[in-house]
A and B are shown apart, each in its own frame.
Chain A
């Protein structure tokens, strides 16, 4: 019988399964020995993981840096939040919302579907523009998207509450949900990378003219990856809103963008395993540094309070990786390549 997947795709399944084992091991460790405040940190890490894996889909495979992911995440988070919050609560939190936005409520699943659909349509519309631009053009348009969406969040306080919190969202998600989503995301991103479209996209990144001459429809494959990426960001946004129960515009802006981009490039743009490892490493590093920032007492020595240390570390990681490890930790390798013995010609 002929298997439906080729060799690389089967390798991809193994790799994704290995990554899922790592994710499950982390959750298991938490379940056995973790403290309850760590659930929040773990959840935030997994939301970041969803975003970074989604970034890998477009930025990694196409090797074009986009900065608009925080905007799509925000759109989905707000869309889901506005749909799912009970009408009685919305009369308090959004008293002057237009178009009867505060007069209905939907089940979490329908809300999530609507949020995904809205983000997907916006992703498609922006994608039609973005895929036609060259390197810096994509970066600037993605920054433009980020700034436009952020100013709309800030300005339309009647719908989005601006810098104030939009509260009263039912907390329907917990650690099990996000773990499931992360594992699905890892499999999806890995299978996309190994699929025909993913391969074509990586070929475009290496040599656009060459790929074109081999019959690759560059715009089409970039558009598919862009829209697929926005779906990951939307999922992350929905998961964020459904867990925290309150959202504001502030987290969906440049700081978050830098954080996630740093995670991606530390691990290595080109591989899904790199995205996962980068996220986990930076998350752990940041937790340690945040603890140092508060000025703890270490071996009898009272350290001073140092605001800005975590940001400093993030910048140092980006610069050091770019200078000494331009391909990140993983480079072009995936997790299963680490276990394979090197054969001749490899």
Chain B
């Protein structure tokens, strides 16, 4: 029983982290059709901002958290302005490769200006404590992570449904031209999407940093790869799909880790990716892919 609760929480917290990053990818994709592989570097940038702020300013974790969130939003919006505006409206491959290029540039900038070795940033580790409920021992970080993700998804849903900008963003994912004809600035909608994506990256960054306690140039790559897979499983461009895909992957990862013998631990990633390939053969456009009609933007 304890074991089952522990593993459920594992699955939920893995899933929450993947869902946060996947949502950041999906919101940008749904509006401008860009697979933003540089999203992981935004997360890494959040980590580096921690190092910078804590050396220059303060070690207070709450200020650092705010700093990480602001840094990720600024980085994400800046990337759109500098790199992705030129390929707006280009085909999918062009956008994908540009994003890969940006991601390589940022990784190597971290390498050049930071250090190839991990740099310690342990201010958030206090979030990770072992809590004991009767006979069940769980990590507080996993609970925070799951709760924060649900809250973030709730706020995002309210934002997309109730505010003008949110509604414009939802409309833009169906027909961007029409939204512009209605007098909404295209730049504002896209910048909004990148800002939200950056905010979600910042949230994910806080939890990743609380777990790792260090930052290194390539730390954003693996999470974004998994999130990309989550988006594809859920249906690219569908926000509920991204969340579903994230949690499915979290569950799959835990199931694989539980079922596979200890000696085959290294094969977990291979097993998860095999399942992904199978899902795609079953539904090539993802589980919750939006119905496509003639004239829809992909």
Binding site for B on A (CB under 8 A): 63-65, 129, 132-137, 139-141, 143-145, 147-148, 151-152, 154-155, 254, 258, 261-262, 265, 306-309, 311-312, 314-319, 322-324, 326
Contact = CB atoms under 8 A, between A and B. Distances in A.
The 6 closest A-B pairs by CB, nearest first: A318-B101, A308-B111, A315-B104, A315-B105, A311-B108, A155-B266
A324 B87 CA distance: 9
Contacts, number: 130
B267 A319 contact: no
Given A140-B229, A140-B280, A155-B266, A309 B98 contact: no
Nearest to A308: B111
A287 B298 CA distance: 40
A346 to B, nearest CB: 25
B40 to A, nearest CB: 12
B96 A137 contact: no
Contact of B87 (A133, A147, A315, A323): A323
A262 B104 CA distance: 11
A150 B17 CA distance: 24
Given A134-B285, A308-B109, 11 more contacts: A133-B284, A147-B273, A307-B116, A308-B111, A309-B108, A311-B104, A315-B103, A315-B106, A322-B90, A322-B101, A324-B86
A65 B96 contact: yes
A319 to B, nearest CB: 4
A136 B103 CA distance: 18
Nearest to A254: B221
Main SS at interface, chain A: helix
Nearest to A133: B284
Interface residues on B, range: 35 or more
Contact of B107 (A133, A135, A145, A311): A311
A316 B104 CA distance: 8
A204 B103 CA distance: 30
B184 interface: no
A311 B92 CA distance: 23
Contact of A129 (B86, B93, B269, B281): B281
Contacts of A148: 269-270, 273-274, 277
25 contacts: A65-B96, A129-B280, A135-B93, A136-B232, A136-B236, A144-B274, A148-B269, A148-B270, A148-B273, A151-B267, A152-B270, A155-B267, A155-B270, A254-B221, A261-B97, A306-B112, A308-B217, A312-B109, A315-B101, A315-B102, A318-B98, A318-B100, A318-B104, A322-B90, A322-B97
